[in-house]
């Protein structure tokens, strides 16, 4: 299986553990990911707040580059970050649905010597793992089943809203199915698609912290030992502001927040180093599962 890969800016900085663990898991499962040459920022939510044509043109350059790099009739492009995923997917749809604006975007691309034909299919890694690779095949590859480990799956906003391409947007279950496939136990909780506030933790902090507090407390209350997520901004918010939230609200909040790919990697027999556990603020204690992980690293 071969896919094009768009890491995005976050996966090369705060979200490096996502990039590294996704690549490690893909390699282990023999899914080939080929990075788009010279990709640029997707524009996230900032560009579209300032200029629509710029925002879509920026994202469209990546789609045009993806087409250049693949001769497949349908180019499958994996974008793991929720903001990138939505920005690219929205551009893909927008170019089909809003003809007068897409003419302007195409003329912007043309100025740069580029062209987009509409062959790209933007995909989320969860979608690819569950629907292309298959849960059964994942199960077959499990070396260290994470038996009894209670996991809260957190999807955040933009992976399923407004477009629910690979799961139900109100009650998604795909990440839970992955958790089951690796032998762990998904907990049932009600806030898995509730907003983490995005960049509000950096701008209007009180509002941002409050949203994250609800998520963390609810996950803890529901019995989760670990939260897993599929978005670098969600992970950053939920993990890096925990201490501050604890202090601010004077409450005990203490729960590791991992990328779902990190947890998968451990179950697939990769070491903690290979799935970049060392980049986390709070490491989960998985020693009871993995001999390899326990021995290899003195944290």
Partner 1 sequence: MQLPIPTNVHSDESHKVEDIKKVVRRIKFESELDHNFGEHIAEKAYGQKLLGCIQCGTCSATCPLSHYMDYTPRKVIAMTREGFKEEVLNSLTIWLCASCYSCTVECPRQIHITEIMYALKREAIQHGYYPKRLTIPVLAREFYKRVLKDGRNTESWVLVSLYLHTNPFAMIKEAILGIKLFLRGRLTIGKERIKRRDQLHAILGNTKGGSQI
- Complex with partner 1: residue 70 or 82, whichever CB lies closer: 82
11 within 8 A of 35, measured Cβ to Cβ? no
Query: According to the binding rule CB under 8 A, does residue 279 interact with partner 1?
Result: yes
125 or 198: CB nearest partner 1: 198
Contact between 249 and partner 1 by CB under 8 A: the answer reads no
* Footprint of partner 1 on 3-32 (CB under 8 A): 9-10, 12-17
Does residue 280 interact with partner 1 by CB under 8 A? Answer: yes
Q: Which of 29, 52, 133, 222 binds partner 1 (CB under 8 A)?
A: 52
Q: Which stretch binds partner 1 (CB under 8 A): 70-78, 103-111, 126-134, 289-297?
A: 103-111
Q: Does 33 bind partner 1 (CB under 8 A)?
A: no
Question: Considering only CA atoms, which of 259, 205, 203 is closest in space to residue 227?
Answer: 259
Answer yes or no whether residue 46 interacts with partner 1 by CB under 8 A: yes
Between 59 and 266, CB nearer to partner 1: 59
Give dist(CA 77, CA 79) in Å, integer.
6
For tokens 């990138």, the residue is 84
Q: Please give the Cα distance from 47 to 59 (Å, whole number).
A: 10
Is residue 49 near partner 1 by the rule CB under 8 A? yes
Q: Which of 143, 172, 144 is nearest to 156 (CA)?
A: 172
Could you tell me where the DSSP H helices lie in the chain? Answer: 16-28, 44-50, 52-69, 82-97, 99-111, 125-127, 135-140, 174-181, 200-203, 205-221, 232-240, 242-249, 260-267, 291-296
103 contact partners, CB below 8 Å, separation of at least 6: none
- Pair of tokens at residue 74: 């349908």
CA distance 165 to 261: 20
Residue 115 touches partner 1, criterion: CB under 8 A: no
Residue among 30, 74, 113, 252 that touches partner 1 (CB under 8 A) = 113
The one segment of 68-76, 121-129, 175-183, 277-285 that binds partner 1 by CB under 8 A: 277-285
Residues 179-218 touching partner 1, rule: CB under 8 A, are: 194-195, 197-200, 202-207, 211
According to CB under 8 A, which residues from 116 to 155 bind partner 1?
none
Q: Going by C-beta distance under 8 Å and a sequence separation of 6 or more, which residues neighbour residue 2?
A: 31, 32, 34
Q: Crossing angle, helix 82-97 and helix 52-69, to 10 degrees?
A: 100
51 is a contact residue toward partner 1 (CB under 8 A): yes
The residues that touch partner 1, with contacts defined as CB under 8 A, are 9-10, 12-17, 38-41, 43-54, 57-58, 61, 94, 98, 101, 104, 108-109, 111-114, 157-158, 161-162, 169-170, 194-195, 197-200, 202-207, 211, 240, 248, 278-281
């Amino acid at each position: 299986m071969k896919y094009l890969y768009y890491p995005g800016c976050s996966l090369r900085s705060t979200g490096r553990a996502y990039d590294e663990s996704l690549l490690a898991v893909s390699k282990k499962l023999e899914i080939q990911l080929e990075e788009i040459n010279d990709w640029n920022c997707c524009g996230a939510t900032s560009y579209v707040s300032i200029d629509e044509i710029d925002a879509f043109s920026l994202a469209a350059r990546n789609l045009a580059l993806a087409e250049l790099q693949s001769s497949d009739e349908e180019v499958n492009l994996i974008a793991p970050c929720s903001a990138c995923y939505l920005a690219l997917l929205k551009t893909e749809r927008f170019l089909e649905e809003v003809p007068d604006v897409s003419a302007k975007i195409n003329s912007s691309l043309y100025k740069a010597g580029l062209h987009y034909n509409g062959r790209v299919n933007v995909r989320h890694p969860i979608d690819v793992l569950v629907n292309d690779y298959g849960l059964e095949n994942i199960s077959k590859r499990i070396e260290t089943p994470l038996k009894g480990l209670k996991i809260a799956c957190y999807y955040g906003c933009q992976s399923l809203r407004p477009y629910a391409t690979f799961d139900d947007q109100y009650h998604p279950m795909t990440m839970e199915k992955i958790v089951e496939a690796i032998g762990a136990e998904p907990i049932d909780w009600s806030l898995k698609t509730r907003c983490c506030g995005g960049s509000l933790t950096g701008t209007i902090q009180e509002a941002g912290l409050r949203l994250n507090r609800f998520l963390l407390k609810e996950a803890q209350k529901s019995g989760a030992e670990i939260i897993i997520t599929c978005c670098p901004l969600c992970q950053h918010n939920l993990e890096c502001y925990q201490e501050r939230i604890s202090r601010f609200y004077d409450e005990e909040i203490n729960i590791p927040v991992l990328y779902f790919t990190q947890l998968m990697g451990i179950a697939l027999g990769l070491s903690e180093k290979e799935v970049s556990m060392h980049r986390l603020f709070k490491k989960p204690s998985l020693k009871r599962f993995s001999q390899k992980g326990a021995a290899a690293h003195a944290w």
